[in-house]
Amino acid sequence: MAVSVRNLSKNYNHQKAVDNISFEVKKGEILGFLGPNGAGKSTTMKMLTCFLPPSKGTATVSGLDIVQHPLEVQQKIGYLPENNPLYYEMYVKEFLDFAARINNIIPNAIDKRIKEVVDLVGLNVEQHKKIGQLSKGYKQRVGLAQALIHNPEVLILDEPTSGLDPNQLSDIRNLIKELGKEKTIIFSTHIMQEVQAVCDRVIIINKGKIVADDKPDNLQNVLSNEVLVEVEFLNEVAKEALQNISVIHQVNALASNHFILHGKDSLQIRKAIFDFAVSNNNPLLTVKQETKSLEAIFHQLTQKK
Amino acid sequence: MKAILRKEINLLFSSLIAYISMAVFFVVLALNLFVFQGNILDSNYATLDTFFTLTPWILIFLIPAITMRTFADEKQTGTIEFLTTKPVSDLQIVIGKYLAALFLWTFTFIPTLIYFIAVKKLSLSEAPIDSGATYGSYIGLYFLGAVFVAIGIFASSITNNQIVAFLVGVFLCYLMYDAFFRISSLTIFQGQLDYFIQSIGLNAHYDSISRGVVDTRDILYFLSVISLFIIGTRTALESRKW
């Protein structure tokens, strides 16, 4: 296991920021850490990077305990903190040189390594500027370059895509995906599409507790106990006629011949609709099963009391 | 630690901090020593007493100004999280930053030896200047600056506001340099605790070295105060973990 968290808790005074969470991340896995603001995502990451000590429990990174061997753990982790703090008055290369030295890279190898990460994160054009002069997207790349400089086994990225425009967003996501081929990545976000697009696995955390831990696809299937079927007929249909079909629980009309049907069993609904169309001599134009979006699942999981 | 030392020195010298603080230091000193009323040339004595009494008071303001951003700025911008999650210990971070500021103080201090040479050359007599006392005073002054650097960095570590760091730094420097001496001369302490209280302050030890006797007890005292404030800084840095 690249990262293994056991019964980790963190209390701030009387408030439980992280409450007894356990999970494991396999080598080469991309784990999405999802949750509303204040759920405990950042606190968990700060404990994994040895910035804060846990109140209870512990974790290991590449087999090393975060409480007993903080410096060795930090050597194995590349960390992009929330809001990406950087030294704005430093030049990009100067900063990466500092990051390389503080990560104990041997001086002879530094220049070569800086060149590699600059290429990897796509900083070529901007590498001679001061960090403060860069756009937010490029600052984010500098933050990633810094986290990658010592070729760490585990990358921990705290909201790496927040505040980026759509182009920058997809660039950074592709980069994370690319990096995930070799490294173990834990990254936090509150954007659902990102999890669907990038992650192998997702953990949803709310009020310090893990409320879901699964593959993004499974999460959709398991947690949505309701299926939606979109149907379109050639001719008009009375809404009441559809509501009378027993397997359909609810009908939302989009147009006089176009409906969204809610129910439990997609197969039975589709069969009933087909029978209904035949018996009314009203040809079906569309029958489409819709899955509940991760967004809806997220709401469902994080808003219940 | 070397990485931090390097980065901090680069920062001091690539920004204007180093140059402005050095310029302020030399201009104020030169005006007081050679231009304003009561200067060395008018007094007709080959002595640097003015220099050694004035400089500590300049340093009380100058050194906290140089060190105020050390930790306060890192806390303000969040880069402290970047630093402390790298494979360096908190003590290494503190010492790296201390040595960088000490380097700047050393860099500022060394050119003041010119005053010694100047006064020596200007003098007409054969044994122009009390060399022993002057060397002692220089050593005392260097340690005094080194203590102020430690105090300034400590002040910076307890806040994320640079102005607060500066004011606290000035206050602590003043307290350590002059206040203990003043307190000791209050009548209630007369004859009992006055010597003890006086010896807590920097002034007593600075004066002692200035007489030209480099006593290991005084050196030990300076080194202890420096260590104390460095450990205090580390404690402040670790307070995030409480």
- Tens digit of each residue's pLDDT (9 = 90 or more) over A59-92: 999 999 999 999 999 999 999 999 899 999 999 9
What pLDDT was estimated at residue A304?
60
- CA-to-CA distance for A228 and A284, rounded, in angstroms? 17
Chain B residue with CA closest to A74: the answer is B87
Tokens in use for A81? 């903190």
Number of Cβ within a 10 Å radius of residue B94: 27
Q: What is the pLDDT of residues A87-138, one digit of tens each?
A: 999 999 999 999 999 999 999 999 999 999 999 888 888 889 999 999 888 9
Backbone angles phi, psi at B173, to 5 degrees: -65, -45
Can you give the pTM of this predicted structure? 0.85
- Terminal-residue alpha carbon distance, chain A: 33
Residues with Cβ within 8 Å of residue B168, at least 6 apart in sequence: B64, B155, B158, B159
- CA-to-CA distance for A268 and B62, rounded, in angstroms? 82
What pLDDT was estimated at residue A259?
87
The region of weakest confidence among A36-50, A207-221, A282-296, B108-122 is: A282-296
- CA-to-CA distance for A63 and B170, rounded, in angstroms? 47
Q: A260 pairs with which residues across the strands?
A: A230, A252
Whether chain B has a CB inside 8 Å of the CB on A62: the answer is no
- CA-to-CA distance for A73 and B87, rounded, in angstroms? 8
Strands A30-34 and A201-206, bridge-based pairing = parallel
- What DSSP designation does A51 have? S
The dihedral formed by the CA atoms of A110, A112, A114 and A115, expressed in degrees to the nearest 10: 170
What pLDDT was estimated at residue B127?
63
Nearest partner of B150 among B232, B238, B75, B89, judged by Cα: B232
What pLDDT was estimated at residue A195?
82
- CA-to-CA distance for A225 and A121, rounded, in angstroms? 41
Average pLDDT of the residues in B61-74: 94
C-beta atoms of A75 and B79 within 8 A: no
Q: What is the pLDDT of residues B88-140, one digit of tens each?
A: 999 999 999 999 999 999 999 999 998 888 888 877 766 667 778 888 999 99
Query: Which of A98, A131, A148, A157 should we substitute to test contact with B (largest number of B Cβ atoms within 10 Å)?
Result: A98
What pLDDT was estimated at residue B126?
64
E strand or H helix that includes residue A12: strand A3-12
Query: For chain B, what's the residue count?
Result: 242
Whether chain A has a CB inside 8 Å of the CB on B131: the answer is no
Q: What is the pLDDT of residues B4-46, one digit of tens each?
A: 999 999 999 888 888 998 999 999 988 888 888 777 777 777 7
C-alpha B83, offset from chain centre: 26
- CA-to-CA distance for A111 and B83, rounded, in angstroms? 21
Strands A64-65 and A154-158, bridge-based pairing = unpaired
Q: Confidence band (pLDDT; 50, 70, 90) for B189? A: confident
Backbone angles phi, psi at A87, to 5 degrees: -85, 100
Residue B76 pLDDT greater than 80, yes or no: yes
Q: A212 pairs with which residues across the strands?
A: A204
Give per-residue burial for B133-160: e unless 16+ CB within 10 Å, then b. bbebbbbbbbbbbbbbbbbbbbbbbbbb
**Ramachandran sector of residue A168 (left: φ over 0; alpha: ψ -120 to 50; beta: rest):** alpha
Q: Which residues of B touch A103 (CB under 8 A)?
A: 86-87
- CA-to-CA distance for A44 and A54, rounded, in angstroms? 9
Q: What is the pLDDT of residues A190-224, one digit of tens each?
A: 777 788 888 889 898 888 889 888 887 777 665 56
What pLDDT was estimated at residue B74?
94
Whether chain B has a CB inside 8 Å of the CB on A86: the answer is yes
What pLDDT was estimated at residue A272?
86
Residue A261 pLDDT greater than 60, yes or no: yes
- CA-to-CA distance for A197 and B25, rounded, in angstroms? 59
Tokens in use for A205? 């955390």
Whether chain A has a CB inside 8 Å of the CB on B239: the answer is no
Rounded percentage of chain B residues whose pLDDT exceeds 70: 98
- Which residue of B7, B15, B87 is in closest CB contact with A104? B87
DSSP H helical ranges for B31-85: 40-43, 49-67, 69-77, 79-84
